[in-house]
A and B are shown apart, each in its own frame.
Chain A
Amino acid sequence: MRTATILLCFAASALADSKTPPPGPPWQRDLLAAQKKGLEEGKPVFFYFTKTY
């Protein structure tokens, strides 16, 4: 039971790791919104590509 709980927690945290952006920066996922903001504010757009592992 304990092993199963630990495995479940590990699996959940691994899933959260890639699905959810790392905490800190003001992330967004919408390309058009990001481009518009970059154009309006004169800033480059930083893309972080990841996937399910």
Chain B
Amino acid sequence: MLPNPQLKADYDKVIWVYVYRDFSKSEADRAAERISMRFGVTSWPQLFLVDPSTMKILKHTGRKVESFQSAVAAAKVPQRMSLKHWESLKAAESRAVALEKKPTAKLATAGLDDTDIVVRTRSLEYLAAKKPAIVAKRAGELLQVPNDPFRYAVCKVLQDAKSGDARKPLEALVSNPKDSLNPNVLRIRAVQALSTCGDARSVDVIAPHAKSGAYFNGLTKISIDALAAIAERDKKARKPVDAVLREAYPNPPKDPSNERELRACVSLAKHIHKRRGDKRPFPDVYDESAVTKLRSR
């Protein structure tokens, strides 16, 4: 989309902000990280328009001149806006920076309930490292916060805490990753947490992702691993998990001459074979007949 002379007419219609992350944790990178957190950005590139009074996303512009211009034309904001919104954001930014520079348990515990998502996320980062029990105890409520980086961090705490109390809200997140800009990654994080927090009751929720046959999607293998981990922990899960894993052998690619597809497909099938502990040798040729045999007991 950029640079493009066709966009000259739009230079004055919006305020242009460039947010670049190099993950160096430098001052500039942390400022860019705070902007990314604010809007839940965890995949790149992202292009969207925001109402400066609410700091809510109005429209995703797409990456074409036409889609950008139509988004700009449709994005309406009030002509007269109070600077109190700016004062409030300025104060929130100060609280977030204070947590970056000199975090304390007191500041972070209070900050977890802040009105500002960046302050909440910085508080969560501190508590995840120093007081994870505080986070685990509030899993249900925290997993509903409509912000991806925040929920990723909560999932990681729960995965490490192996908290059975978090099973239900995690299952709800896998079933419906509501308000997510990146639902596949949010599901991945929730399934990883269920690998330590879930039990036999989680099998039906994870199963569709384990047997999707999507060998290029990381969620498939992570779901298979989570089910295998649950089966190792919970006797009641063993039979249903094996039934799901048998169905999870992916169908061979329609075009077997496509080496990239075949390699990914066979790699996933071998992984399932291993996780099932199937003693039969893995077939030399992975075709429909091989899949039928592998899926049988």
B-binding residues in A (CB < 8 A): 18-19, 21-32, 34-52
Contact = CB atoms under 8 A, between A and B. Distances in A.
Contact of A46 (B3, B23, B44, B47): B47
B21 interface: yes
B15 interface: yes
A44 B77 contact: yes
A24 B55 contact: no
Given A43-B77, A47-B35, 5 more contacts: A24-B5, A39-B86, A45-B52, A48-B45, A49-B46
B22 A52 contact: yes
Contact of B75 (A21, A22, A41, A44): A44
Contact of B49 (A28, A39, A46): A46
B51 interface: yes
A21 B18 contact: yes
Given A39-B85, A49-B41, A44 B58 contact: yes
Contacts of A40: 81, 83
A32 B52 contact: no
B50 interface: yes
Contacts of A23: 3
Chain B, interface residues (CB within 8 Å), range: 35 or more
Given A51-B22, A51-B44, A31 B11 contact: no
Contacts of B61: 46
A49 B45 CA distance: 5
Contacts of A29: 17-20, 28, 31-32
Contacts of A37: 15
Given A24-B7, A52-B23, A38 B77 contact: yes
A24 B3 contact: yes
Interface in B36-57: 36, 38-39, 41, 44-53, 55
Nearest to B11: A25
7 contacts: A29-B28, A31-B17, A32-B86, A36-B83, A38-B77, A48-B45, A49-B45
A29 B35 CA distance: 10
Contact of B47 (A25, A26, A47): A47
A42 B76 CA distance: 9
B282 to A, nearest CB: 36
B260 interface: no
Contact of B53 (A21, A31, A39): A39
A40 B53 CA distance: 10
A16 B268 CA distance: 38
B50 to A, nearest CB: 5
B19 A50 contact: yes
A3 to B, nearest CB: 27
